[in-house]
Amino acid sequence: MLLDLIAQKISGLKDVLPLIEGGKGISVSNGETCGAWAAAGAVGTFSAVNADSYDEKGNIIPQIYHGKTRQERHRELVEYAVAGGIAQAKIARERSNGKGRIHMNALWEMGSSQEVITRILEGAKGCIHGVVCGAGMPYSLSEIAAKFGIHYYPIVSSARAFSALFRRSFKKCIELLGGVVYEDPWLAGGHNGLSNAESPNNPMNPYLRLVELRKVMNSFNLVSIPIIIAGSVWWLSEWQDYMKNPEVGNVAFQFGTRPILTTECPVAKAWQPKLMSLKRGDVKLTTLSPTGFYSSAINNEMISNLLARQERQAPIVEISELKVKVFGREVCLDSDYTERVNQWISNGFTTAMLTPENTVVFVKPEESQTILKDQRDCCGCLSACHFSSWCQTKGATGKIPDPRSFCIQKTLQSAAHGGNLDESLIFAGHSAYRFAEDPFYENNFIPTTQQLIDRILTGF
Ligand SMILES: Cc1cc2nc3c(=O)[nH]c(=O)nc-3n(C[C@H](O)[C@H](O)[C@H](O)COP(=O)(O)O)c2cc1C
Ligand code: SF4
């Protein structure tokens, strides 16, 4: 199969394969994976979200927190993140053998993101060619990139989001805009940029959204800037219509889920049984993330428990016969819920917890203890957190901590570092079920990154 895929100038280097490793935190895409993608002549992306750093023997330094306050622990987290990002950038540089491109991915809404990104770029000078940023509106990304003379790549899920970013800030730094990542909000793994006007149950045609994005980019004179298509890209043969197509323009492709099963990926072995057992529909798009964004993850025990918890929810009213104690205080609940509440209580969900939406949820006593402990242990990994009410600028969001959400730091760290995968957050794209159907992975084959890229270049 002959693909219309053309090597491009990416982040300043000519003839780079327009195949891009999607950044994956925490520690799913790292220096090893990134270096391998670059060594294959493509683009690797390590995650700068609380990346691992190592002691002098090469062991991962566990991220343990000693500070008494959240603010103190947040500062420890920033130091871990900076050390980890620098370590991964250096590994990527070494593994790349000077080939391909090395990108760094960060979440705009991670705690102290601008400081972390800036300090990693300072500490790993010359190692990083591009910085990629999503999960939020990274207005200052261009300024940071300009300071270091590297390219920047915003991740957007609509033409409207890009237009807002460009008009407000990117127009001042067009020369370093390396590409625009279009991450399909209904298909991609990780956090998803669905707007309030879009429904999780009504996916839109990616082609039409890409054409719209290209029109907006062309109107800003960004005709030659590539759109990097992300979200359920598996076989390139299925994307032929998007290549050499003037309506979409110059494109590259980003793979998020597929590279998890490569020998260089630190979680490949541990996640393989889960990934290989997935069926269509086993990845869920939910609003559970403490960031407030939609996100897509494998529907394991943790996700299904949280979804069930949302169902065990009753509205608070001023006066009612139905009364429950919430940590000693009596609250009235909508009496329409009497039967359901009795049922939940008789099933062992005896502890009522307040939510920020004037409701209570019913959980088992031991679950409530875990929720409260996780909230107490918060180390401020986000700029603002629905689950713990942590807020980087004000100390607290002013809202009630939300027991319907969870600690993303704890559950992602656990997924990456040998924790129980049923109790961890395993982000995945909506095509992850294809591992089980794709003959490439027969007999539990895990390819090297080079083998995966060679395979992708055949179209499959
Ligand atoms: C395990 C996992 C973790 C991810 N973490 C991040 C992240 O930290 N930052 C980010 O911008 N995107 C993240 N993503 C999104 C990927 O970079 C990529 O854009 C997306 O997965 C593409 O969709 P696909 O998985 O269908 O290929 C993550 C995806 C997965 C599967
Ligand atoms: S509670 Fe929220 S801000 Fe705190 S560490 Fe967990 S996810 Fe991060």
Question: At residue 75, does pLDDT exceed 70?
Answer: yes
Q: What is the mean pLDDT of the chain?
A: 97
Q: Which residue carries 């956090």 as its tokens?
A: 191
Beta strands (DSSP E) in 168-273 are 180-183, 190-192, 227-230, 251-255
Q: Which residues contact 187 (CB under 8 A, 6 or more apart)?
A: 203, 206, 231, 232, 429, 430, 431
Say how far apart CA 132 and CA 138 lie, in whole Å.
Answer: 10
Task: Taking residues 154-183, report their average pLDDT.
Answer: 97
C-beta neighbour count of 55 within 10 angstroms: 9
Residue spans of the domains in the chain: they are 8-276+434-457, 301-423
Q: Is 231 in the pocket of ligand 1 (CB under 6 A)?
A: yes
Determine contact, residues 172/198, Cβ cutoff 8 Å. Answer: no
Say how far apart CA 352 and CA 359 lie, in whole Å.
Answer: 10
Q: In this predicted model, what pLDDT tens digit does every residue of 270-280 receive, in sequence order?
A: 999 999 999 99
Atom of ligand 2 nearest to the CA of 388: 1
How much distance in Å is there from the Cα of 388 to the middle of ligand 1?
24
What is residue 323's DSSP assignment? E
Say how far apart CA 224 and CA 217 lie, in whole Å.
Answer: 9
Determine contact, residues 405/375, Cβ cutoff 8 Å. Answer: no
Return the amino acid letter for 127: C
Task: Taking residues 196-200, report their average pLDDT.
Answer: 92
pLDDT value for 136: 84
Ligand 2 pocket by Cβ (under 6 Å):
290, 378-382, 385, 387-388, 390, 407-409
Residue 4 — very low, low, confident or very high, per pLDDT cuts 50/70/90? confident
Q: In this predicted model, what pLDDT tens digit does every residue of 290-329 receive, in sequence order?
A: 999 999 999 999 999 999 999 999 999 999 999 999 999 9
- The protein residue with its alpha carbon nearest to ligand 1, atom 1, reads 427
Atom of ligand 1 nearest to the CA of 234: 27
> Architecture of 8-276+434-457 per CATH?
Alpha-Beta Barrel (3.20)
- The protein residue with its alpha carbon nearest to ligand 1, atom 14, reads 190
Task: Taking residues 111-139, report their average pLDDT.
Answer: 95
